[in-house]
Amino acid sequence: QVQLVESGGGLVQAGGSLRVSCAASGRTISNYAMGWFRQAPGKEREFVAGIGWTGTTPAYADSVKGRFTISRDTAKNTVYLQMNSLKPEDTAVYYCATASRGYTDSSSSSRDYDYWGQGTQVTVSS
């Protein structure tokens, strides 16, 4: 079965950096778009970044554009989210997800993803 395992979250001061990882098994990420979403307390889950199946079409939410970078290592079947210039409003549980259909660009809609990781907490202190 498909499993996604996130890691790398933690506590960081505002202006700092973190890199979170998502190791996939049971599905080859080079054939599927991957996405990162986040959910803060009391808020709905929101799209953060996505990368298409070719690995060449990253997409970002306006709130993170220029600060976050999504990438992947197909040899490790792992997707990364590099987060720089972190702000307290970036505090959330971060989830990775894999698209339900292969060979597509990434989508900002959670409905287009069928497998999700358990999430990793990112806390940014002011």
How does residue 56 score in pLDDT terms, banded at 50, 70 and 90? confident
Vertex 92: Cα angle to 71 and 67 (nearest 5): 40
Q: Quick one: what percent of the chain has pLDDT higher than 90?
A: 98
pLDDT, average across residues 91-113:
96
What integer pLDDT is reported at residue 119 of this predicted model? 97
CA distance 63 to 40: 14
pLDDT reading at 57 higher than 90? no
Burial class (CB in 10 A: 0-12, 13-18, 19+), 106: buried
- How is residue 58 written in tokens? 């990253």
User: What pLDDT score does 99 carry?
Assistant: 96
Instruction: For residue range 4-41, list pLDDT tens digits in order.
Output: 999 999 999 999 999 999 999 999 999 999 999 999 99
How far, in Å, are 21, 47, 82, 116 from residue 77 at the CA level?
A: 10, 21, 16, 15
Other C-beta atoms closer than 10 Å to the C-beta of 14 total 13
Give me the pLDDT at residue 111, please. Answer: 97
Instruction: Pull the structure tokens for residue 61.
Output: 């939410």
